[in-house]
Amino acid sequence: MNNNGLIFNVEDKPKFGQLIVFAIQQVLAIMAATIAVPTIIGLPTQIPSAILGAGVGTLVYIAFTKGKSPVFLGSSFAFINSLGVAMAYGYLGIIFGSVLAGLVYVIIALIVKTAGTEWVSKLMPPVVIGPTVAIIGLSLAANAAGDMVKASASNLNGGYNLAALGCALVTFFTVVICSSQKKRKMPKLIPFIIGIVAGYAAALVLTVIGKLANVDYLMILDWSPIVNNFVQDGKFVGFTSILDYPDFAFIEGIKEIITGETSLNNATVLNWTGAAQVALAFIPVALVVFAEHIADHKNLSSIIGRDLLKEPGLHRTLLGDGVGSMAGTIFGICPNTTYGESVACVAITGNASVRTILTTAILCIGISFFRPLMVLLETIPSCVMGGVCLTLYGFIAVSGLKMFKDLDLGDNKNLFVVSAILIAGIGGLSIQIPYQLFAADQASTAYTVINGVVTEVELVTKEGSAILAHTAGTVSSTIQITSIATALILGIVTNIILSKIEKKSAAEGGTEQGGLISDGGAFANCEEKSEDVCSTCECAACDADKTADTCSACKDGKAAANDKAE
């Protein structure tokens, strides 16, 4: 184990057998979120495509970052509303929007390559990044808690189930116990696999008891995905139940160009008007998600003990993320982003080997073609994944809190910046910019993610949102900036404003010392007001020194590391 607490460092090469096991664990950590996005936007049949796209995108990211940044890319929640707009223009609309978002990253990467990263550190110091990383985990808390009391992964509308909570707690405590191993043991490296197996076993026992006793409440597991994969209408499906290729978005896009029609229901092929609307939906979101990219990589940097913004460099991580997202959409269906769940998995297991991430990407590509594995993953109960997510999301939150533990929260500037980010992020404050998507005389279908009461075609998701298929008439849609991004923007603006006020006060001769305003001279009152201290080096000064412009410890105005005199 190295000084960073890692069992495997970034360049380390675990044995082949270990790599496979570690990769399976990463797959389990990122799977729930990756498959959630196509389900939320109303394309549950595209789950294999999303997994394929995540694998391809991660391979691209690893290539651009020279194998120095161990994080997995998965389907991005930030673009859910944008995807809703793009889906009205078929696969070409989705590809076009994702390519534009990726190009935003490429442009920013070129700027960073030219101008350096100092401006990024000034724009997003620890007082901003720390609470932002924290709310990435905290904002997901309700999802984890909600999943822990659901009986089945396929039962999104299921009510509270105490038996499910029991399975979730079995999973959670198994993960915690395995992760707490001090020595280099396998349980420390694969706590999530062991936890999921334990939770699944508990669910299996309860399901068998419930089946024998005819008590539905205890039937936690749902094997219908496996049955439906092999048997449909009472007949064996055949070879496609074993091997089947996912829908490649670029192939569907080529078909749309050739035929002038799209396979997406009630959608139209991309046109110039649609291109403008899709651009308006994707570009602003991409600009904001850039800040989340910084937060993820600073968090990962603190875990592996290396500054990824310097090596391989922020420009490379941005290129990897942007081009990886484009590639992921072209081959799959959803834009990608770096996953906090993957970062948390690295930290908890102590395995930062980039070869594990590489193997995970290859495994995801393989899984997308192998149907039995896909449906087996679908049978993992929500409560079991909820127990895993309790640890993953919790670790993300704590990682953020650790980033600003050394900040002086007695300083009003820091206090207001942190509080603004935490409250806005946890409270779910988002920016929604409405615009008219279709004219009233168009008989097309648009998809939009909305909150509240929904009519017509509805798919309720675990986030409490819904998908609406609305035919004909005027559709009012929005460009939505997620709560995390909104909180980050609010924090950045608050920090800039308060920093300028602080500098202005200092320039006018009024600096703040320990919450008290001094006269801006060479000596300022300390908190206790019992003595005068030098405002430059903060050492106690004698009466003779007070007559000079600076104290004797600060010749030529240079601060000295003097202890305060009694």
Tens digit of each residue's pLDDT (9 = 90 or more) over 221-266:
988 888 777 777 667 776 666 777 788 888 989 999 999 888 887 7
Give the residue from 462, 493, 524 where a domain finishes: 493
- What's the pLDDT score for residue 503? 86
- What's the pLDDT score for residue 474? 33
Q: Which of 176-190, 235-249, 347-361, 484-498 has the lowest mean pLDDT?
A: 235-249
CB 529 within 8 A of CB 512: no
Query: pLDDT for 89-133, tens place per residue?
Result: 999 999 999 999 999 999 999 999 998 888 888 888 889 988 988
> Per residue in 254-292, is it b (16+ CB within 10 Å) or e — as a string?
ebbeeeeebebebbbbbeeebbebbbbbbbbbbbbbbbb
- What's the pLDDT score for residue 186? 78
Q: Are residues 186 and 314 located together in one domain of the fold?
A: yes
Neighbouring-strand partners of residue 351: 8
Give the residue from 433, 460, 493 where a domain finishes: 493
Please report whether residue 500 resides in a domain. Answer: no
Instruction: Please compute the mean of the pLDDT values over residues 493-522 and round it to a whole number.
Output: 68
Q: Supply the DSSP symbol for 243.
A: B
Q: Supply the DSSP symbol for 7.
A: S
Q: Are residues 474 and 528 located together in one domain of the fold?
A: no
Q: Which of 38-42, 66-70, 151-155, 443-447 has the lowest mean pLDDT?
A: 443-447
- What's the pLDDT score for residue 59? 97
- What's the pLDDT score for residue 184? 59
Q: Which of 23-27, 38-42, 53-57, 238-242 has the lowest mean pLDDT?
A: 238-242
- What's the pLDDT score for residue 25? 94
Please report whether residue 3 resides in a domain. Answer: no
Q: Are residues 566 and 430 located together in one domain of the fold?
A: no
Please report whether residue 2 resides in a domain. Answer: no
Please report whether residue 501 resides in a domain. Answer: no
- Nearest alpha carbon to residue 294 among 428, 166, 122, 462: 122
- What's the pLDDT score for residue 240? 63
Query: pLDDT for 326-343, tens place per residue?
Result: 999 998 888 999 988 899
Instruction: Please compute the mean of the pLDDT values over residues 481-509 and round it to a whole number.
Output: 86
Distance CA 221, CA 209 (A): 12
**318 compared with 285, residue with greater pLDDT:** 318
Instruction: Please compute the mean of the pLDDT values over residues 414-438 and round it to a whole number.
Output: 82
Examine residue 312 and say whether the peptide bond preceding it is cis (omega within 30 degrees of 0). Answer: yes
Instruction: Please compute the mean of the pLDDT values over residues 144-160 and round it to a whole number.
Output: 72
Domain ranges, residue 29: 16-400+409-493
Query: pLDDT for 20-32, tens place per residue?
Result: 999 999 999 998 8
**86 compared with 547, residue with greater pLDDT:** 86
Distance CA 77, CA 267 (A): 22
Q: Are residues 420 and 448 located together in one domain of the fold?
A: yes
**Residue 536 pLDDT > 60:** no
Q: Which alpha helices (H) appear in 125-242, and where do they start and end?
A: 126-138, 141-148, 162-179, 186-189, 191-213, 224-230
Q: Are residues 555 and 457 located together in one domain of the fold?
A: no
- What's the pLDDT score for residue 152? 67
Please report whether residue 5 resides in a domain. Answer: no
- What's the pLDDT score for residue 63? 97
- What's the pLDDT score for residue 402? 84
**Residue 445 pLDDT > 70:** no
Q: Are residues 481 and 341 located together in one domain of the fold?
A: yes
Distance CA 24, CA 417 (A): 39
- What's the pLDDT score for residue 459? 32
**546 compared with 409, residue with greater pLDDT:** 409
When pLDDT is cut at 50, 70 and 90, the band that residue 372 belongs to is confident
Q: Are residues 295 and 422 located together in one domain of the fold?
A: yes
**Residue 285 pLDDT > 90:** no
CB 377 within 8 A of CB 24: no
**Residue 552 pLDDT > 80:** no
When pLDDT is cut at 50, 70 and 90, the band that residue 549 belongs to is very low
Q: Supply the DSSP symbol for 563.
A: P
Please report whether residue 504 resides in a domain. Answer: no
How many domains are there within the chain?
2
Query: pLDDT for 182-233, tens place per residue?
Result: 765 778 889 999 999 999 999 999 999 999 999 888 889 988 888 777 777 6
When pLDDT is cut at 50, 70 and 90, the band that residue 70 belongs to is very high
- What's the pLDDT score for residue 249? 87
Q: Are residues 466 and 517 located together in one domain of the fold?
A: no
Q: Are residues 418 and 458 located together in one domain of the fold?
A: yes
Instruction: Please compute the mean of the pLDDT values over residues 128-140 and round it to a whole number.
Output: 87
Token output for 285: 């979101």
Q: Are residues 530 and 448 located together in one domain of the fold?
A: no
Query: What is the overall mean pLDDT for the chain?
Result: 79
- What's the pLDDT score for residue 228? 79
When pLDDT is cut at 50, 70 and 90, the band that residue 492 belongs to is very high
Please report whether residue 503 resides in a domain. Answer: no
Distance CA 269, CA 274 (A): 9
Instruction: Please compute the mean of the pLDDT values over residues 391-407 and round it to a whole number.
Output: 85
Positive or negative, the Cα torsion across 255, 259, 260, 261? negative
Q: Are residues 248 and 371 located together in one domain of the fold?
A: yes
Distance CA 23, CA 31 (A): 12
Give the residue from 445, 465, 493 where a domain finishes: 493
- What's the pLDDT score for residue 526? 40
When pLDDT is cut at 50, 70 and 90, the band that residue 457 belongs to is very low
- What's the pLDDT score for residue 547? 43
Percent of the chain residues topping a pLDDT of 90: 35
Q: Are residues 368 and 468 located together in one domain of the fold?
A: yes
- What's the pLDDT score for residue 158? 58
Please report whether residue 307 resides in a domain. Answer: yes
